[in-house]
Copies of this chain bind each other. A is one copy, B any other.
Amino acid sequence: MSREQHFIDRLAAIARHSAARGLQDDVAVLPMGARDLVLTHDMIVEGVHFLSGDPPGDVAWKLVAVNLSDLAAKGATPVGLLVGYPLAPDPAWDMAFADGLAEAVGAFNVPLLGGDTVAVPAGAARQLGATAAGTVAPGGAPARAGARNGDLLWLTGMVGAAGLGLDLARRGAAEPAAWLAAYRRPQPRLAEGRALAPRVHAMADVSDGLLIDARRMGLASGLAVELALDAVPLPPGVARTPAAALAAATAGDDYELIAAAPPGLTLSQADCAQVTAVGRFRAGSGLTLTWAGAPLPPPERLGFEHDAPP
């Protein structure tokens, strides 16, 4: 068991309130009158979740986006954002971060409501936190644990562009720009989440990699997941080979949504990415992969584990 999982298990023993959902859902869901309140808190760390050289405005955008992605996965509409910000050694970094924050909260239409700024000792890696609050109809936030035997595994959009963009950023390359943008300016699937939430049994976002996040949904639901890797949409220009698809499905940082639902799911709204059936939930446990109907051995690393920085 990973150190992170061991610690989370200890926390789960403390977090017994039903709103905590056993810490399985990346969010808390609290009944609050006519709406349920959805709360999430995500951190991003320099050298782990972003590169030291990433533009500060993009870091701000990503901090907002990763939190809103957790709301999207519950079908919630954002109502506010708080930011925990360590003042940078370089005041220009602070100001560029604030500019990116303004862009992001504007783009996603979520009001910045507050937070905290702190001084940190010189030389510390930047650790940024944000809390996003959203609301959803009572009982309307799908759990990660709700998949049913026979449900299909659905995926919004495609995966892999952000991982390719991270490779570009590490090499200082600027093209293809769409891959860099996928890494630095992810788009939380808020409209898709709202459209899907009433029609699915389970939903989660793909933050750590499609394979690991699909396995987590199966595990939380007490089911096995069969994933047809050849069905997974990949970015334009990426070869449709098992190796390329495995890289795309384990890279993480996609912020797409996965959902468990019966066949026939579509998203007709003009502002929504398409959803694709990429697998199926079955009785049993674990993750199995196929390529064109033939079994494919799962890779050792299914995605990003938080206590094993790349």
A-side residues, CB < 8 A to B, are 3-4, 6-8, 10-11, 14-17, 19-21, 23, 25-28, 30, 32-35, 37, 39-49, 79-80, 82-87, 91, 94-95, 98, 101-102, 105, 111-121, 124-125, 127, 129, 131, 133, 135, 306-309
Contacts and interface: CB of A to CB of B under 8 A. Distances in A.
Interface-centre pick from A35, A43, A115, A308 (highest chain B CB count, 10 A) = A115
B87 A118 contact: no
Contacts of A26: 114
A15 B127 contact: no
A5 to B, nearest CB: 9
A111 B15 contact: yes
B28 A129 contact: no
Q: Is the interface of A mostly helix, strand, loop or mixed?
A: mixed
A238 to B, nearest CB: 29
B37 A32 contact: yes
A28 to B, nearest CB: 3
Contact of A17 (B17, B49, B111, B306): B111
A309 to B, nearest CB: 5
Contacts of A48: 118-121
A113 B28 contact: yes
Contact of A111 (B20, B79, B309): B20
B35 A91 contact: no
Contacts of A16: 111
Nearest to A42: B116
Given A37-B133, A114-B39, A306-B118, A101 B11 contact: yes
Contacts of A82: 28, 39-41, 131
Nearest to A12: B112
